[in-house]
Every structure is written in structure tokens, then in C-alpha cells.
Amino acid sequence: MIRVLLVDDSPIALLTISRILETAPDITVVGRAANGQEALDLIPALQPDVICTDLHMPVMDGLRFTEAVMQRFPRPILVISISVFDSKSDNVFNLLQAGAVDVFAKPRSGLRTADEPVARALIQKIRAISGVVAFTRRSHGAARVSPPPPRPATVELPPVAGSFDVLVIGASTGGPLAYEAILSALPASFPLPVICVQHISEGFLPGMVSWLDSCSKLKVKQASHLESLKAGFVYFAPEGKHLTVNANRLLQFSPHSEGDLYCPAVDVLFHSVANHFGAKAIALLLTGMGDDGARGLKRIREENGMTIAQDESSCVVYGMPHKAVEMNAARMVLPLALMADKVVTLVTGAGRK
């Protein structure tokens, strides 16, 4: 049973989220608090597996609360905030830097059952990040994560300056902070355009892009339809549209189709890059639940592109990269901290200075 503590100064929000989570047979809401200080006082007795917190609260806000939890009672925190809808939604991502795992838009008060898409997504998110408890607190002995399978041998290809034309990256749960780690480490002179897909709750993408732009020496932006690719730019797929590259190497949108599990999808981008860049592509598949991106990564590898999966030790959720490793889609499996240097080495023949 996944034990959840809810922290929000809105009684309506607490009731709405409680009703949603309590429809799941494997989740129980063990406590509710109106601010961060109240929640801190409850944690020792309640021992929640997951904490859901808002950003703006009296007495102790979400940021100070997250910092305090990471120092005193480290465990997974999901930010559930209406701040996605205001002009400062990028402030939410400061909580990720403080240690929160992911962000989710606050459900409307009318949601009451697990049958609605937003409710299902919230329940799925709670289940996914609850696994981080065992992952980050192994000393507590509650290991729920099975031992990793044997890692395939890393294939090291000799770097040749100028041999790559594009860098593509895909991520889901835990992705914003992983993107921050990579993009902040790429130099201003990085010679390739970067194309990205991130699964994220509706409304959060503009804030995430703004936050990443402030962290990076490159220009981070949302992609535009039929936009030309330029070195020094990082292009994120917009919400609700698949992002691809066409035969002219222009960015192109395609609509969400019935039956799509993800939109935008990492696989859709990676397949198009395999078709039009082939061996000239470097692809990174980062932390995230599910298997989106694994098949596309394999297609890029089949075209002799360079494919790299994030290793289990540095993933928030070892789902997408795990599937890629199982499919032998990754030429390399690396911890997050080494990815930017490896990319720079592959592209220029020299690590980041």
C-alpha cells in the first residue's frame, strides 16, 4: 500500500485529490496538512511513501517545505500546483531543484473518480514515483526495486569532429531535472541543434522551457511548425502535438491520433530522425516510466546513429531507458552526470572545459 501525505492550504483541493487517490486500491491518504510546517510535524508519525505539495501556502511554502523534507526526511515529493496557469509557472521548477521528483497540474474540483484521464494520470504518477522510495532510501531496507539485469557492454565509437548533425533527447518522469543537468553543461559553442520531447502535465511546458532557458548557455524554446534547425538552439515539442523532422530537415508538427499513448511521443521524433539523419544523429533516452522512445532509439541505432540510455543508478524512474537496454537499442549506458561530456566529446573530439 502506498501511503500519501497531502499538503495544500485549499480544503477543496485536499478533498478533490483525496477522493481521486482513494479510488485506487493500492493507495491510501494517511494525512492532510494546510502548510509545510504542519506537514513536517506529521511526517515522523505518518511515514508517508509519497508527499504531494502545493507551491504557494502560508507559514511555510512548498519550496521551503521541500528543502526541509530533503534535509530531514528524504522521500519522493510530487508538486501539485495551480501555478501552471499563472505567469510564473517556472517557479514550480525551483522545487525540482530542491529535490521534488515531478510536477502535476492541480485537478479541478469536479473530478471525483479514477475513470477520468486526469485522475488516471495522477494515480499513475503516484505509483511511479513511489518506487523512488526504495531507490533513494535503500538503507531503510524496503527495497521494492528488483536488482538490475546485467548491463550490455558499452560500445565505444571513435569520436570524429563534424560527424553528427543533430542531438535528440527524450524523457518523462524526472525529465525536467535531467534536462537541466545536460543543457546547463553544454557549452555556448555547441555546434548542433538539440530537439527534445518531455512528457509533462498540460500547462507546465512554457514554465519548464523558461526555466531551462535560464539555466542553459543555449537558447531553449518551444518548437514552431516548419522551423529551420539552427546550432545553439534547443527545441521542445509543444503540448498536444507530435514533433518530427521532415525530408528537408525542418521541424514539423503532426496531430494527436486516437490511440496515441503519448503526445508528443519520443518514438515519433526518434523515428523521423532515424529516417532523415540516420548515422548523423546522437540520441539520448532519459529517465521516465513506460517504454516511449525505446523503439525509436533502436531505429536510430539501426541507422548507425549514436544512441545512449541513462543508467538505472541516476534515473528517477528506470522505465524508458530500461526498455531500450532490454531491446539492445543503446550503444552506451551512462549515468546522467557523464552524458553532457560524452556528447561534447563525440561531437568535437574534446570534453567540456
Which residues are the active-site residues? 172, 199, 292
CA distance linking residue 301 with residue 63, whole number of Å:
41
Beta pairing, strands 306-310 & 241-245: unpaired
Phi, psi of 47 (to 5 degrees): 45, 60
- Going by C-alpha positions, the residue among 265, 284, 268 that lies closest to residue 276 is 268
C-alpha distance from residue 62 to each of 2, 76, 203, 233, 325 (Å): 22, 14, 19, 32, 36
* CA dihedral sign of residues 61, 53, 73, 181: negative
Compute the half-sphere exposure of residue 324: CA atoms within 13 Å on the CB side of its CA: 38
* CA dihedral sign of residues 296, 302, 304, 306: positive
* CA dihedral sign of residues 254, 259, 264, 270: negative
CA distance linking residue 173 with residue 326, whole number of Å:
19
- Going by C-alpha positions, the residue among 127, 260, 276, 131 that lies closest to residue 195 is 276
Cell numbers describing residue 237: 515539442
